[in-house]
Chain A
Amino acid sequence: GAVVSQHPSRVICKSGTSVKIECRSLDFQATTMFWYRQFPKQSLMLMATSNEGSKATYEQGVEKDKFLINHASLTLSTLTVTSAHPEDSSFYICSARGTLAGSNYGYTFGSGTRLTVV
């Protein structure tokens, strides 16, 4: 089946630094990648959608200059949290949509990244 590998699973960084989170589709081509954010005891909120080779589309209220998304290949998308602050501490999850051998693999989620900014 379709697998999305997300790294790192946990990261602690100092306020003002940048953090990069990677999502890789291991056995299918991820034509579209979604990035979600989940606050404690809340649902997943979509931050942005990226299509391979195109600029990401950000949801209302999400700062595109703070959350940089790159989807340069069909198997890799990255989310960089720039100049992180404690309020950016959250659980970030990627989801990939793509195809393999002509079949629609739907949506496959990564295992998430717990970001703590101190």
Chain B
Amino acid sequence: AQSVTQLGSHVSVSEGALVLLRCNYSSSVPPYLFWYVQYPNQGLQLLLKYTSAATLVKGINGFEAEFKKSETSFHLTKPSAHMSDAAEYFCAVSDRFGYQKVTFGTGTKLQVIP
């Protein structure tokens, strides 16, 4: 069985400040890990994914995430928050071979304060 835990359902940061959204995973097999962003009333957009290559993964819009096996973590970061980053972010896990379904975390709503 696989699962992800996102710490903090709401995160507020000032514009220009560091964004850190936390995600810890549990998986019995080597995982694929994903971060998705969802804007209101829209579908999900893939920010980045870890597929066993480099442990530091760079995504779109300046986001990146680091896979740390020892900590079973895949935290999402961005050096400087922009107002347009305000959205809901979902961490997700699947098995490395893509045979299993994608399991989502409960989401973290990011608020950016001007």
List residues of chain A with CB under 8 Å of any chain B CB.
6, 34, 42-44, 46, 49, 91, 93, 95, 97, 104, 106-112, 114
List residues of chain B with CB under 8 Å of any chain A CB.
32, 34, 36, 41-46, 49, 51, 90, 94, 98, 101-107
Supposing A43-B90, A43-B107, A44-B90 touch, asked if A110 and B102 sit within 8 A by C-beta, the answer is no
Contact between chains at A111 and B42 (CB < 8 Å): yes
**Which residues of B lie under 8 Å from residue A95 when comparing CB positions?**
102
What are 8 sample pairs from A and B whose C-beta atoms fall under 8 A apart?
A42-B106, A43-B107, A44-B90, A46-B103, A109-B36, A109-B43, A109-B44, A109-B46
In the assembly, what is the distance between CA of A117 and CA of B45, in Å? 26
In the assembly, what is the distance between CA of A1 and CA of B35, in Å? 18
For the complex of A and B, the 10 pairs showing the least CB-CB separation, nearest first, are A111-B43, A112-B43, A109-B44, A43-B106, A44-B104, A43-B104, A109-B43, A43-B107, A46-B101, A93-B43
B95 to chain A, nearest CB (A): 12
**Which residues of A lie under 8 Å from residue B41 when comparing CB positions?**
91, 112, 114
B43 to chain A, nearest CB (A): 4
In the assembly, what is the distance between CA of A49 and CA of B32, in Å? 18
Contact between chains at A97 and B43 (CB < 8 Å): no
**Which residues of A lie under 8 Å from residue B42 when comparing CB positions?**
111-112
Nearest B residue to A110 via CB reads B43
Contact between chains at B98 and A106 (CB < 8 Å): yes
In the assembly, what is the distance between CA of A42 and CA of B45, in Å? 17
A101 to chain B, nearest CB (A): 16
